[in-house]
Amino acid sequence: MLKNDIWILEQAQQGMISPFEASLIRKIQLSPQQTVPALSYGLSSYGYDIRLSPEEFLIFRHIPGTVVNPKAFSPENLERVDLKRDEYGDYFIIPANSYGLGVSLEKIQMPPNVTAICLGKSTYARVGLIANTTPLEASWCGAITLEFSNASSTDCRIYANEGVVQLLFFEGEPCNTTYSDRGGKYQNQAGKVTLPRV
């Protein structure tokens, strides 16, 4: 069953989402004198919009003669992107037809009978920025490494400290073995991008 805002709020009070916003935030304060519209984040009717951390964002770079291998991934295939700021807020730039990795500002602790699906926000989809759909399995915990593809032919901004993806929470019958029980390889991710593991 898809869980509603009442359930999400109750679970957040027990530590499922931290930091947590109990309402949908649509404006941010850039300075004492400046408030700007935001890509919304926080609690919605049947989900929770999480934010992109300003701490780290990496993009793939082309290295002639190399092939990216998920079984033997080289960090040399990635380069750090600088955080920028202007009157619209803090942002990173994803080059045209490129791919980037960021991390959620929020830390998540999934209950043992709930899995969340991470979906992109429509505002970004409308400019060609696609968030990869990923699950957060039962009892998974940590900061979420987020994957974004810029499908457009122009560079695109992605805003830090604002909403980038929505989590939808699905409760099921208790499982025999949770992600934590089996020692999942992406358990307890820190607030940095976690590279592919086998």
pLDDT for 13: 97
Is residue 39 packed enough to be buried (19+ CB in 10 Å), middle (13-18) or exposed (0-12)?
Answer: buried
Q: What is the reported pTM?
A: 0.93
Cβ-proximal residues to 24 (8 Å cutoff; 6+ apart), any chain: 40, 41, 42, 43, 44, 49
Tokens encoding 156: 């695109």
pLDDT tens column, 88-139: 999 999 999 999 999 999 999 999 999 999 999 999 999 999 999 889 999 9
Please tell me the predicted confidence (pLDDT) of residue 198.
82
Catalytic site positions? 147
pLDDT tens digits, one per residue of 9-59: 999 999 999 999 999 999 999 889 999 999 999 999 999 999 999 999 999
**Mean pLDDT (whole number) for 65-74:** 87
Q: What is the CATH number of domain 5-63+72-171?
A: 2.70.40.10
Domain ranges in the chain are 5-63+72-171
